[in-house]
Amino acid sequence: MKQGVQRFGKFLSAMVMPNIGAFIAWGFITALFIPDGWLPNEGLASIQPYMLTYLLPILIAGSGGRLVGGDRGFLMGAISVMGCIAGVGGTDGQPMLMGAMLIGPFAGWVIKKFDQFMEDRMPAGFEMLINNFSVGILGMLVAIIGYYLIGPLMAALLAILTAAIDVLVNHHLLPLSAIFIEPAKVLFLNNAINHGIFTPIGAEQAKATGQSIMYMLEANPGPGLGVLLAYWAFCKDKMTKDSAPGAIIIHLFGGIHEIYFPYILMNPAVIIGPIVGNIAAIFWFTITGCGLKGPASPGSIIAFLSMAPKNKIFLIILGVIIATAISFLICSPIVRMGSAKGGLEEAQQQMKDMKAESKGQTVAAISDGAKKDAASVKKVIFACDAGMGSSAMGATKFRNRVKGNRPDLIVKNTSVDNIPADCDIAVVQSTLQERARKSAPNAQLVTIENFLADPALDALYIQLTTLDAPAKAAPAAEDAAENAAPKAKPVFDKNSISLKLAPVSKEDAIRKAGEMLVAQGCVEPSYVDAMLDREKIVSTYMGMGLAIPHGTTEAKGTVKKTGIVLTQYPDGVDFGDEKAQLVIGIAGIGDEHLELLGKIAEALEDEEVLEKMKTTDDVNWILETLS
């Protein structure tokens, strides 16, 4: 149940988080230009209602549609939410933020099911016509559902929730919400409750009154600041004590509240401090009539105060100080007298595991098949859709990681549909696990989100190296023969590298890499579309700021010669919830590209080399590093 709630919360926040910039713009326009704002301007203030009524719901619904149905899902969500908006009266009705969170994923699901139905039924030559008309017709139908059903339903629900909040405020019971808010934050539901629940209600209140206390319930940095100050002042463990000042800066000014979660996990009794501190702060904000003009995200003191009404800014600062002081006073004796369960590193690892669970990852890493002891495991297979890029990189990195303890272990990569029968453990992305089960029914199945940095890979490493592993032996004959065989080096020169590129969409970054492969004479132009199709199956984001797009299995016939290109985006390209600074396009014949992928994997082992590769403008250095 906990994992289900966390996944649901993660899904809600994933619809809102990519659009926080739009929320901030709306909040600033509200705070600055409304009649009682910092710089009253009737004309500029007129922008605000259109952003709240149309822009924000369209962005949220589009993001929800994309999560389920890809780019076509984004368009479906954007079309469909207009029905919800019209169904409640447009700018005269309630903001449809919650309606967008419902209809967007639904619209994405509709187009996804249609595309699956048409996958083997699409008549040649009619692809563009059918794709465009299907979105138009289905989008219209879902918009009609939104007009008559979802919009009015969500408006009624929002009215009920708003009325319930008003009752809590009028009876001075709202402060008790902190009893649930603070523990939920430590369980990584902070973004879900803030942007999935409080922001829609806050938007409705702000539309009517110009401000809302709902924006303050989760984002107040005071409760967490009190925890960190207590550890800085009274913790007996030197490493933890010395780490607190840096955490304070990150938490207070950077707004990254997750930084203090490990300090609570070290000693769970400490959670009492932020709970009571937030109760006191919410009570103060209630009796003084405080609220923010828009959402404070991230929860930095800078963002918190920037959304404050100018006549309430002093009272809001006092509220943050109250939360900090009470949290500090309660946490201090607990930190001084209590014994933390494990050190900071252990708590941070626990936090990492919990965060992985909140994203739907399984740290235990077993989806199917009995967990095998180390001595019985001889072959580990990393599998992706085509067996060309991401799995090859993952296998190389994991092989390098275990070879010191398990030189006898065979670690290879292949496509998910061709996992060999003698595989003991198969490592696949979670979206491919059903295909992996069919291909390797007797293997232990390890599911991951990316091939480079995943908690499940850490668990697998421990499983294979800390049990009754066999004594170190020479590499298996199968691998030795492969290593001895000469491999042709793929073409990789200055023309294969493009640095300092401006941020673009994921699709444009993939297309850029594909066009470079075409220019190198490695592939036919149709391979570029196959790279985009491959991305729709499962993300080629590897972790650690690296993505390796490549074509589908069916597109191998369009590969003329093996090639690899490297594109660098210092500011990052959005691959879902992650950013890739390095986008490496590949096209391989056989295993010719694996040697260079191995070099890249080795480079990733050195954090300084990896970070330099993400920002350098020295092409020669990259060539030398990967040669």
**Out of 84, 384, 423, 522, which one is annotated catalytic?**
384
Residue pair 27/45 in contact by the 8 Å Cβ criterion = no
Going by C-beta distance under 8 Å and a sequence separation of 6 or more, which residues neighbour residue 555? 526, 527, 530, 531, 533, 534
**What CATH architecture is 494-625?**
3-Layer(aba) Sandwich (3.40)
Tokens 């009517």 appear where?
208
**Out of 195, 251, 550, 593, which one is annotated catalytic?**
550
Phi, psi of 102 (to 5 degrees): -95, -50
Lowest mean pLDDT among 34-43, 277-286, 326-335: 34-43
pLDDT at 386: 62
pLDDT at 506: 92
For residue 491, what are the β-bridge partners? 563
pLDDT at 74: 94
pLDDT at 94: 79
* Better pLDDT: 349 or 399: 399
Of 286-290, 318-322, 406-410, 439-443, the range with the highest mean pLDDT is 318-322
Phi, psi of 559 (to 5 degrees): -85, 120
Please name the residue ranges forming H helices in 338-447: 344-358, 390-402, 433-439
Please, which pLDDT band fits residue 369 given cuts at 50, 70 and 90? Answer: low
Mean pLDDT estimate for the chain: 81
Q: How far is CA 75 from the centre of its chain?
A: 21
> How would DSSP label each residue in 48-98?
HHHIIIIIHHHHHHHHHHHHHHHHHHHHHHHHHHHHHHHHTTGGGS---HH
Residue 215 has pLDDT above 80, yes or no: yes
pLDDT at 13: 67
Strands 541-543 and 546-547: antiparallel
pLDDT at 271: 93
Residue 449 has pLDDT above 90, yes or no: no
331 is catalytic: no
Residues 185, 188, 194, 200: what is their CA dihedral angle, to the nearest 10 degrees?
-140
pLDDT at 141: 97
For residue 383, what are the β-bridge partners? 414, 428
Please, which pLDDT band fits residue 394 given cuts at 50, 70 and 90? Answer: confident
195 is catalytic: no
Mean local confidence (pLDDT), 38-43: 88
Phi, psi of 564 (to 5 degrees): -135, 135
pLDDT at 592: 58
pLDDT at 476: 44
pLDDT tens-digit readout, 316-327? 999 999 999 999
pLDDT tens-digit readout, 152-170? 998 888 778 777 777 777 7
pLDDT at 477: 42
pLDDT tens-digit readout, 450-482? 776 677 787 788 778 764 434 344 444 444 444
Mean local confidence (pLDDT), 494-520: 91
Task: Tell me the HSE value of 37 on the side-chain side, using a 13 A CA sphere.
Answer: 23
Please, which pLDDT band fits residue 346 given cuts at 50, 70 and 90? Answer: low
pLDDT tens-digit readout, 175-201? 998 998 888 887 766 766 777 678 878
List every span in the chain annotated with CATH 3.40.930.10.
494-625
* Topology classification of domain 374-484: Rossmann fold (3.40.50)
Q: Hey, how many other C-beta atoms are within 10 angstroms of the C-beta on 473? A: 10
pLDDT tens-digit readout, 334-343? 998 865 445 5
Tokens 């000469």 appear where?
486
High-pLDDT (> 90) share of the chain, % = 27
pLDDT tens-digit readout, 539-573? 788 777 888 888 876 777 788 888 889 999 998 99
List every span in the chain annotated with CATH 3.40.50.2300.
374-484
Three-state DSSP state, 502: coil
- Of 588, 579, 598, the C-alpha closest to 509 is 579
* Better pLDDT: 399 or 7: 399
Distance CA 345, CA 511 (A): 41
Lowest mean pLDDT among 34-48, 56-70, 277-291, 373-387: 373-387
pLDDT at 469: 39
